[in-house]
C-alpha cells in the first residue's frame, strides 16, 4: 500500500512539473530563498489625483463623492542601488480610472497629482512618497519609468542591461483580494523559472500569466549570481507590465529620454450627474503646498 501511495504521489508531482514546463515555466524549488532575498526590493505605491478647474479665476480642485481625491491607483515599485522603477499607474493614474472616461474629452478640468504613499513589502504602515521635485525618466513609453532618488538609501537590486540568453526567475507580487478592497493586506510572491533571450533593440518579452486565483500586482524578472561560496545575489533585468490582456517583461535599459507627462494637458468637463466634490481644504488641494505635483502641471498648481 505504501509503495502504491508513493507511486501515485510521484506521478502527480511529475505531471505537475511536466505541465509547468510545457507552459514555458517551472516552479522554483527555491521559492522561500528567493522570497527572502527579493522582498525587501519591492514596495507598494498608492497614488492619488484630483481634477483642477482650469477656467476658475483662482486654482480650484475637485475630488469625487466627498473625497479629497478624484481617483487613486495601486502599483508595485522596484528599488535599485540608485533609485527605483515605477509603472504607468504612478505617472498617469487617471488613465486606469474608469470614472475618468466621462471627462476625458471635455474642456474644463485637468487631472493633477494630489499625493502618493508607499509601504514596504512586509509592512502595513504607509509613508509619504515625495514626487513633487523629481523627474521620472522613460524606460518604456507609457509602461515603465525610473526615478533617480535616494529615498531608500541606495539599497536595492543592481540593474543588468546585458543581452543574450538568460536563465532567470519571474517573481510576481500577489494579494488575496484587489488592493482597493483591502489596501493593508499582506503581499506574497509567486516564483517561476524562465529563460528569455534578450535583444538589444527589443523592449517587450511576452510571458505566461501565472496560474493563480490571487490578484497580481506586478513583478520583476531577475537573474541569480553567485558572488561567493554560499552567497547568491539577484540582478534586475526587467519589470513585468500588463497590457492588452497580456503580461510582458519590459527590459530595463540605460535612460535615454526624459519624461513629458502624458495626458496632463487634457481638459475635462463634469457631466450633469457628476459626483465631483469641491476641495475646500488647502492641505488637500493639488497645490505646491501639497505632497506631490506632476512636473508638467506644477505651474497650474501654484496659487
- β pairing state of 42-53 and 109-120: antiparallel
Residue 216's nearest CA partner among 42, 92, 40, 16 is 42
Please say if the pLDDT value at position 182 is more than 80.
Answer: yes
The arithmetic mean of pLDDT across residues 74-102, rounded, is: 95
Beta strands in the chain (DSSP E): 26-27, 42-53, 60-64, 71-80, 83-87, 109-120, 127-128, 137-140, 144-147, 158-159, 164-175, 188-198, 204-207, 215-228, 231-243, 246-251, 257-258, 276-278
CA quadruple 132, 119, 172, 150: dihedral, nearest 10: 50
Residues 5-61: tens digit of each pLDDT: 333 333 333 333 333 333 344 455 567 778 888 999 999 999 999 999 999 988 899
- Give the phi and the psi of residue 136 in degrees, each rounded to 5: -60, 145
Q: How far apart are CA 137 and CA 69, in angstroms?
A: 26
In the chain, what are the domain boundaries?
Answer: 23-38+158-251, 40-154+257-295
Residues 123-179: tens digit of each pLDDT: 999 999 998 677 899 999 999 999 998 899 989 999 999 899 999 999 999 999 999
Predicted model pTM:
0.79
With residues binned 3-state (H G I as helix, E B as strand, rest as coil), the percentages for the chain, rounded to 5, are 20, 40, 40
Residue 247's nearest CA partner among 216, 202, 214, 212 is 216
Amino acid at each position: 500500500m505504501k509503495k502504491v501511495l508513493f507511486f501515485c504521489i510521484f506521478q502527480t508531482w511529475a505531471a505537475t512539473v511536466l505541465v509547468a514546463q510545457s507552459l514555458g515555466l517551472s516552479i522554483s524549488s527555491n521559492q522561500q530563498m528567493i522570497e527572502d532575498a527579493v522582498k525587501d526590493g519591492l514596495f507598494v505605491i498608492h497614488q492619488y489625483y484630483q481634477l483642477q478647474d482650469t477656467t476658475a479665476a483662482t486654482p480650484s480642485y475637485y475630488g469625487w463623492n466627498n473625497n479629497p481625491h478624484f481617483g487613486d491607483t495601486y502599483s508595485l515599485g522596484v528599488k535599485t542601488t540608485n533609485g527605483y522603477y515605477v509603472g504607468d499607474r504612478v505617472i498617469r493614474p487617471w488613465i486606469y480610472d474608469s470614472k475618468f472616461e466621462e471627462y476625458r474629452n471635455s474642456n474644463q478640468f485637468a487631472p493633477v497629482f494630489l499625493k502618493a504613499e508607499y509601504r514596504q513589502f512586509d509592512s502595513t504602515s504607509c509613508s509619504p512618497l515625495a514626487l513633487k521635485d523629481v523627474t521620472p525618466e522613460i524606460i518604456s513609453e507609457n509602461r515603465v519609468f525610473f526615478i533617480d532618488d535616494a529615498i531608500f538609501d541606495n539599497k536595492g537590486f543592481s540593474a543588468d542591461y546585458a543581452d543574450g540568453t538568460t536563465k532567470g526567475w519571474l517573481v510576481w507580487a500577489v494579494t488575496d483580494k484587489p488592493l482597493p478592497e483591502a489596501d493593508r493586506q499582506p503581499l506574497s510572491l509567486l516564483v517561476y523559472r524562465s529563460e528569455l533571450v534578450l535583444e538589444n533593440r527589443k523592449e517587450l518579452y511576452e510571458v505566461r500569466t501565472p496560474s493563480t486565483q490571487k490578484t497580481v500586482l506586478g513583478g520583476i524578472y531577475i537573474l541569480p549570481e553567485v558572488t561567493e561560496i554560499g552567497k547568491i545575489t539577484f540582478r534586475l533585468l526587467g519589470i513585468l507590465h500588463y497590457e492588452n490582456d497580456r503580461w510582458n517583461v519590459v527590459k530595463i535599459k540605460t535612460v535615454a529620454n526624459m519624461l513629458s507627462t502624458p495626458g496632463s494637458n487634457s481638459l475635462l468637463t463634469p457631466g450633469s450627474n457628476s459626483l465631483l466634490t469641491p476641495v475646500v481644504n488647502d492641505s488637500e488641494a493639488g497645490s505646491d503646498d501639497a505632497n506631490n505635483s506632476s512636473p508638467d502641471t506644477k505651474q497650474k498648481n501654484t496659487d
